[in-house]
Amino acid sequence: MSSPKILLKLTVNGESRQALVHPMARLLDVIREDLGLTGTKEGCGEGECGACSVILDGSLVNACLIPAIQVQGASLRTVEGLAGTDLSPLQEAFLHHGGAQCGFCTPGMLVAGTHLLEMEAVHDEAGAREGLAGNLCRCTGYVKIVDALLAAGEGRP
Amino acid sequence: MNDFAHIGRSVQRKEGRAKVTGAASFTDDLRIEGLLHGATVRSRVPRGRITGIHFEEGFPWAEFVIVTARDIPGKNAVAHLMLDQPCLADGVVNHAEEPIVLLAHPDPLRVQDARERVRVDVEPLPAVLGIEESLRCDPVIWGQDNIFKTILIAKGDPEAAAALGHLRLDATYHTGAQEHVYIEPNAIIGEASAGGVLVRGSMQCPYYVHHALHELFQLPLEKVRVVQVETGGGFGGKEDYPSMLACHAALLSWKAGGRPVKIAYDREEDMACTTKRHPSRTRIRSAFAADGTLLSLDVEFLLDGGAYMTLSPVVLSRGALHASGPYRCPDLRIRARALATNTPPHGAFRGFGAPQSLFAIERHMDEAAQRLGLDPADLRRKNLLCTGDAMATGQIMRDEVDLVALMDRALTEIRYAEKRAAYPVLNATDDPVKRGVGFSVFMHGGGFTGSGETMLNSVAALEGTAEGQVRVLAASTEMGQGANTVFAQVAAEALQAPVDLIVVAPPDTGLVPNSGPTVASRTTQVVGKLVLDAGLAMRKTLLEAGLLQDGDVGTAIRTYVARHGALRTESRYQKPDFVEWDDATYRGDAYATYAWACYAADLRVDLVSYETQVADFVAVQEVGRVLNPTLAAGQIEGGVAQGIGWGLNEEVIWRQGSMANHQMSNYLIATAADLPRIRVFFEERPYAYGPGGAKGLGELPMDGPAPALLNAVQHALQVVPRQVPMTPEVLMDLVEGG
């Protein structure tokens, strides 16, 4: 990490942000350490668990696998950007259905689920399960997470 | 149906909003001024003599805090049941990954770099790497005989009874280690100086950590403070290990003059170095009458405890006490031993020994049924315990539960009879996908074993605040299972107050009484009852003060606190009158009550790839009254998913006493796409000594899936599987005779 730092400019949850970072710093560390948004979690550091899922220019990515230099000028959405003054329908559905247990996979699940809903990719249970397969949860057995996603997709509580 | 205002209702998770907005702060999320980052240098060999520790020349070591065994102010031990496990290896190492040197630096990348520049010379010694070698005492690595603990449960005369058997069956079952894979890796922040020790972090049992720090530093109890931070899953993996991590972080801080030090493991270190489920070997010799009546059982139950005792004797105890399953058996012997090996110590994991022994007996019953020409359900119908029957320890089954009806409900839900008949016909065709249906019947004791709850002597308290709120004070931690919410429901019920009036204080040993560890399916059943009783006492106090006439509890509390300065009630554990237990003879009431269940699985096996797919899974259980249906079902669904993983896929691969596949990319846990919709059903029979009639349920769902799935394998393929995980490789060998 001896290369000089770069000034990274990003739109984060609709706001312009910048940070002086190593070009090869992980986007995950930029988000957590430089931008101070600790809702995005590290569960494995190798792109397996999805706890660091964020939406980068409209694509769902694992922030632990993306170097900072690759996101210059990009638009980023994290769990902190999902709620407005009210919770989003998916966040409400997670509360109603019990989709969060320990809460550590939850931010990544919500970001992935939000992306699936926005892509209109949730039509049935099998699709919901396939869509969430990049996000690991060890508490729930996924039933209540899937139920929350299906409910939000159908606009019901 | 429900006379309660809050109990039995799916009240939303107390800390749910913080968890869905990303606001919930876990240990690694805390921002702390002057923080140092800690790292651990470990042994690479399973056993040996340390001959030297070398720090690379020319590296700026003056920037680093360095701790070895010599820096420990008190006892070099992580206190669990014994003091045999050093906090840092001194002179010898007894397992791979054993910690030897600790380092800290303000820059987390620098400290990782430095770790690679410490070389520990170890002269290897012969190591014991499995149960068989440990039994042979080749060599002796712990005590006189490598045995941490021996337990004998005996009743009647199993040899004489076996002589009358129509079928005598002798079979041995194996289970592998299992990694917890809580999604939040272990993380602890320590601050220590002569003034005292403060540890914050991810943990299940603040007072276990408190005890370990007290021994390590030899400071007065009141100078040690432990605070649980939001914890991203535990499953037993944060029961014993955080004591080690807390000792390490606090030692580094001690050496650094009190600066805070964080040790946050990455996934690889967490998987390689922390505890796992005990591997087991269970030999069952049984005898049955021609009609299927179980005449005798002789069970030898062995656990691989790893290099140090930690909690192995207690895990062994629970395993032994569940080894005869939910069956009547007049003549039996259960001999259990926990053995030392040179692997990282195995520790608590949901189920705590019971999944291992129940796997063996539930597989054994299906083998016996096949040999007797009986349907597995009919064999169980003959032998399932009924209320009033004697269990293995002579305990009279008091729970008013009809196990045959429970089983039949699960079998109906999975359409057992129809599939049992239809699948063999389908399986006779060329289709390489074979189908099987199987089930298991089992129980799980709630709370600590035997006299354990009496010895814990737990206390919980409620405190009224000046603002008119009620704070629950307990050391029991929320780790996703829903303790916060259930405590709030129970307290609100007792006080006849809204749930929103109740807040649960952070488990901070400087603030909360010791309500015991958050383990053993005891939090709702045992501590919940203490919270309920403290709530009833508080209501009585307010009534006697004449403050509840208008019924507004919040106002009454505010008034009481304004008048008297404080309002606090507490409750201490009292055992149910009937419970009698003798630890010397292992006779009596092993548990005050049990949760009971039947789980059934419909399984597909692809004979081309040997992949397995769970097509349907039904979980029927009796857990007393369900306090919060959403949370309870969530516990069962999550436990079943872990049980399916242990049964079919999750394999810890050992290489020289170290976990070789210590990554999420090669130790595979199920995704949403790998699992069916787990279907959960509750029979509710209120338990008189639980809050609102509740029993413990957290561990129960770990016990049943593995045997149900392997019984389905037997049905699908007409083979006799006796080990988990039943990975495609193992299955292929079994089918093709490799």
Contact of B668 with chain A, judged by CB distance below 8 Å, is answered with no
> What does the pLDDT average to over A144-155?
97
Contact of A151 with chain B, judged by CB distance below 8 Å, is answered with no
Contact of A139 with chain B, judged by CB distance below 8 Å, is answered with yes
- pLDDT tens for A103-134 read 999 999 999 999 999 999 999 999 999 999 99
Q: Say which of B24, B638, B664 has its CB closest to residue A48.
A: B664
Query: Any residues with CB less than 8 A from the CB of B261 and at least 6 apart, and which?
Result: B35, B36, B37, B38, B65, B104, B189, B190, B191, B249, B250, B252, B253
Contact of A154 with chain B, judged by CB distance below 8 Å, is answered with no
Per-residue pLDDT for A1 more than 70? Answer: no
Give the CATH class of A6-81: alpha beta
At residue B191, φ and ψ (nearest 5 deg) are: -135, 125
The predicted structure's pLDDT at residue B487: 98
Query: Which 3 state secondary structure label does DSSP give B201?
Result: strand
From residue B421, alpha-carbon distances to B161, B327, B411, B417, B715 in Å are: 34, 26, 13, 6, 10
Residue B637: closest CA among chain A residues belongs to which residue?
A: A141
The distance of Cα A39 from the centroid of its chain, to the nearest Å, equals 9
Q: Say which of B19, B231, B673 has its CB closest to residue A100.
A: B19
pLDDT band at A2; cut points 50, 70, 90 = low
Q: Which of B273, B288, B304 is the last residue of a domain?
A: B273
Arch. (CATH architecture) of A89-153: Orthogonal Bundle (1.10)
From residue A45, alpha-carbon distances to A66, B231, B280, B574, B728 in Å are: 11, 19, 32, 47, 28
Which residues in chain A have Cβ-Cβ distances shorter than 8 Å to B639?
Answer: 141
From residue B63, alpha-carbon distances to B12, B36, B53 in Å are: 49, 11, 18
Cα B456 from Cα B170, distance rounded (Å): 39
CB contact under 8 A, B13 and A43: no
Q: Say which of A41, A44, A133 has its CB closest to residue B672.
A: A133
Mean pLDDT by 10 residues, chain B (738 residues): 87 98 98 98 98 98 98 94 96 98 97 98 98 96 98 97 97 98 98 97 98 95 98 98 98 98 98 98 98 98 98 98 98 98 98 98 98 98 98 96 97 98 98 98 96 96 98 98 98 97 98 97 97 98 93 94 98 95 96 98 98 98 98 98 98 98 98 98 96 98 98 98 98 90
Q: How many structural domains compose chain B?
A: 3
CB contact under 8 A, A43 and B183: yes
**Radius of gyration of chain B, Cα coordinates, nearest whole angstrom:** 26
DSSP letters spanning B611-668: -EEEEEEEEEEE-BS-S-HHHHHHHHHHHHHHHHHHHHT--PPEETTEES--STTTSP
The verdict on B324 and B256 lying in the same domain is: no
The predicted structure's pLDDT at residue B77: 97
Contact of B32 with chain A, judged by CB distance below 8 Å, is answered with no
Task: Name the pairing type of β-strands B167-175 and B723-724.
Answer: parallel
Cα A53 from Cα B294, distance rounded (Å): 54
* B14: its two tokens: 């107390």
Cα B330 from Cα B158, distance rounded (Å): 8
Cα B367 from Cα B719, distance rounded (Å): 10
b (16+ CB within 10 A) / e for B110-140: bbeebeebbebebeebebbbbbebbbeeeee
Which residues in chain B have Cβ-Cβ distances shorter than 8 Å to A45?
Answer: 266-267
The predicted structure's pLDDT at residue B3: 82
| Lookup result for tokens 């630890």 | B583
Residue A33: burial class (beta carbons within 10 Å; 0-12, 13-18, 19+): middle
CATH number of B90's domain: 3.90.1170.50
The verdict on B649 and B605 lying in the same domain is: yes
Q: Which of B273, B307, B323 is the last residue of a domain?
A: B273
Query: Which 3 state secondary structure label does DSSP give B103?
Result: strand
Neighbours of A42 (CB within 10 A): 22
The verdict on B597 and B709 lying in the same domain is: yes
| Lookup result for tokens 């009879």 | B417
Neighbours of B63 (CB within 10 A): 12
The predicted structure's pLDDT at residue B2: 63
The verdict on B353 and B424 lying in the same domain is: yes
CB contact under 8 A, A141 and B19: no
**Residues recorded for chain A:** 157
Q: Say which of A78, A100, A102 has its CB closest to residue B20.
A: A100
The predicted structure's pLDDT at residue A3: 78
CB contact under 8 A, B20 and A98: no
Cα B703 from Cα B363, distance rounded (Å): 12
Residue B226: burial class (beta carbons within 10 Å; 0-12, 13-18, 19+): buried
Cα A1 from Cα A3, distance rounded (Å): 6
Tell whether B162 is covered by a domain: no
Contact of A62 with chain B, judged by CB distance below 8 Å, is answered with no
Cross-strand pairs, B654: B659
The predicted structure's pLDDT at residue B550: 78
* B7: its two tokens: 């109990």
The predicted structure's pLDDT at residue B738: 56
CB contact under 8 A, A44 and B267: yes
The answer to whether the Cα torsion of B675, B681, B687, B691 is positive or negative is positive
Cα A155 from Cα B93, distance rounded (Å): 59
CB contact under 8 A, A94 and B10: no
From residue B373, alpha-carbon distances to A113, B370, B567, B707 in Å are: 50, 5, 66, 20
Q: Which of B14, B17, B19 should be substituted to probe chain A, the one whose Cβ sees the most A Cβ atoms within 10 Å? A: B19
The verdict on B561 and B657 lying in the same domain is: no
Torsion of CA A100, A105, A107, A109, to 10 degrees: -80
Task: Scan residues 184-203 of B and list those with Cβ closer than 8 Å to A.
Answer: 184-185
CA distance A118 to chain B (A): 18
CB contact under 8 A, A46 and B15: no
Residue A144: closest CA among chain B residues belongs to which residue?
A: B634
B405 contacts B621 by C-beta, under 8 angstroms: no
B43 contacts B98 by C-beta, under 8 angstroms: yes
Query: Which 3 state secondary structure label does DSSP give A87?
Result: coil
The predicted structure's pLDDT at residue B549: 86
Task: Scan residues 278-307 of B and list those with Cβ closer than 8 Å to A.
Answer: none
Q: Which of B256, B273, B290 is the last residue of a domain?
A: B273
Residue A90: closest CA among chain B residues belongs to which residue?
A: B20
The predicted structure's pLDDT at residue A66: 98
The predicted structure's pLDDT at residue B1: 45
The verdict on B567 and B630 lying in the same domain is: no
The whole model's pTM is what?
0.98
Q: Which of B9, B15, B20, B677 should be substituted to probe chain A, the one whose Cβ sees the most A Cβ atoms within 10 Å? A: B20
Neighbours of B630 (CB within 10 A): 20
B553 contacts B559 by C-beta, under 8 angstroms: no
The answer to whether the Cα torsion of B197, B201, B206, B211 is positive or negative is negative
The verdict on B76 and B214 lying in the same domain is: yes
The verdict on B542 and B637 lying in the same domain is: no
A116 contacts A93 by C-beta, under 8 angstroms: no
Helices (H), B204-278: 206-217, 241-255, 267-273
From residue B642, alpha-carbon distances to A144, B179, B662, B670 in Å are: 16, 10, 17, 8
Tell whether B146 is covered by a domain: no
The verdict on B245 and B326 lying in the same domain is: no
> What does the pLDDT average to over A57-62?
98
CA distance A9 to chain B (A): 23
Contact of A133 with chain B, judged by CB distance below 8 Å, is answered with yes
Residue ranges of chain A that CATH labels 3.10.20.30: 6-81
The verdict on B656 and B606 lying in the same domain is: yes
Which residues in chain A have Cβ-Cβ distances shorter than 8 Å to B640?
Answer: 141
Residue ranges of chain A that CATH labels 1.10.150.120: 89-153
The verdict on B474 and B540 lying in the same domain is: yes
Contact of B666 with chain A, judged by CB distance below 8 Å, is answered with no
Gap between the terminal Cα atoms of chain B: 57
* A135: its two tokens: 């996000």
Query: Any residues with CB less than 8 A from the CB of B365 and at least 6 apart, and which?
Result: B325, B327, B376, B379, B380, B383
Contact of A49 with chain B, judged by CB distance below 8 Å, is answered with yes
State the residue range of the domain holding B407. Answer: 280-449+585-736
CATH number of B563's domain: 3.30.365.10
The verdict on B110 and B216 lying in the same domain is: yes
